[in-house]
Amino acid sequence: MTLDLSLTPENVLVQQAVRDFTAAEILPHIRDWDERHEVHPEVFARMGELGFLGAPIPEAYGGSGMDYTSLGILCEELERADTAFRVVVSVHVGLNSLTLLQWGTEEQKRRWLVPQARGEKLATFGLTEPGVGTDAANLATTARRDGDAYVLNGSKLWISLADIADHFLVFATVDRAAGHRGITAFMVERGMPGLSTATIEGKLGIHAGNTGSISFDDVRVPAEHRIGEEGEGFTIAMSAIDQGRYTVATGAVGLTQACLDASLRYAHERRTFGQEIGRHQLVKQMIAKMGSGIEAGRLLCRQAAWLKDRGMRNTRETSLAKWFCTDHAVASALDAVQIHGAYGYSNEYPVERYLRNSKAAVIYEGTSQLHTLIQADYLLGYREDRPLRCPPLPAQGYERG
């Protein structure tokens, strides 16, 4: 097969639609929202009305039927405006809805996926715990079978949309001694007795987004809410994270583009020693690094999208894109602040917000250190993706078992 990374007319239409949306709904307000730590769910609802919250979900399940390149463009353009709005797509679509599409039964898709794809319900993903981050196989949250239900106890932390989501795809262990083979996935709904959420205050960045915790105190979850079989949860979680990493990578390209946009404007406006600062060689160096990384990052993301659209395994390619793009976003945000000098240190210019927002993405969906090890293991031959034993599903071809 020939690798074709060119944009289709549909991709271009999506790009323009998102730019129009951010120009009207986000950019005029984001400085104030960020400064006041305000979350605006009505903007998320508008994203749902435009089909963004069901972007890659087939129309048969209420979605827009976009390809992965369009999903990437959506995330890039949203984060170019502000990270908080890309995060909504990452957790609602990438981590939750695409996982339901791949692993859910037909009844489960009709119950949860359809309203999520239509933007009628907001969804999130609960894997991280107070004592468990990268070591996802070591969950402390438990699920005990009790007749026709499971009883969940434990807590999740650093969960995007925790305090405003309607649906939660969560992971708990039915047998801690079994390690990752005991992890099982469940769909939990807000309002279930024993389920509570809270918002985390004092974050470094993403002030216009909600991040919080989920607590389970004898939450009784019907057995038909289990996604997949007992013990399949770890595989399900890893397939979801491959989707989430793709959205984070493409979003990071957008944040870097925002850094470049702001830096180019300022490099032409600001004058020192009788000329625009863009004429100075070391400013040019920082500008050139931003631009080259954007081009490289987009190519890595579109390679991953090409594989995803064909149902091919892409763990290695998606990991590389996430690692490169998020690290480059942090470096670019630092350079953007440097180009702006003292003004970059205040919220008079947006680069201060870009720097604060950039840091989270080198932590969630696998730290940069984890992705370094993943890529090294592939190169050394210590890690290898297993071939598929069944036809690929629409989301991604992870095999069961």
Query: Where in the sequence numbering do the catalytic residues fall?
Result: 365
Which residue, chain included where needed, has tokens 């925790």?
Answer: 162
Query: How far, in Å, CA of 286 to CA of 100, rounded?
Result: 42
Identify the CA nearest to 228 among candidates 94, 87, 383, 393: 393
- Alpha carbon of 345 to those of 334, 336, 348: distances in Å? 10, 10, 8
Query: How far, in Å, CA of 18 to CA of 39, rounded?
Result: 19
Torsion sign, CA atoms 165, 166, 167, 171: positive
- Alpha carbon of 248 to those of 63, 154, 259, 383: distances in Å? 21, 27, 16, 23
Query: How far, in Å, CA of 238 to CA of 219, rounded?
Result: 24
Parallel, antiparallel, or unpaired: how do β-strands 149-160 and 211-222 relate? Answer: antiparallel
Contacts by 241-244, CB closer than 8 A, 24 or more apart? 241/95, 241/127, 241/365, 241/366, 242/314, 242/315, 242/318, 242/396, 243/94, 243/95, 243/98, 243/99, 243/395, 243/396, 244/90, 244/91, 244/94, 244/95, 244/125, 244/365
Contacts by 332-335, CB closer than 8 A, 24 or more apart? 332/255, 332/256, 332/259, 332/260, 332/289, 332/290, 332/293, 332/358, 333/255, 333/256, 333/259, 333/357, 333/358, 335/259, 335/263, 335/286, 335/289, 335/290
Torsion, Cα 121 194 137 330, to 10 degrees, reads 50
Encoded tokens for 110: 């009709």
Quote the DSSP letter at residue 218: E
Which residue, chain included where needed, has tokens 């649906």?
Answer: 167
Say if residues 326 and 249 touch (Cβ distance below 8 Å).
Answer: yes
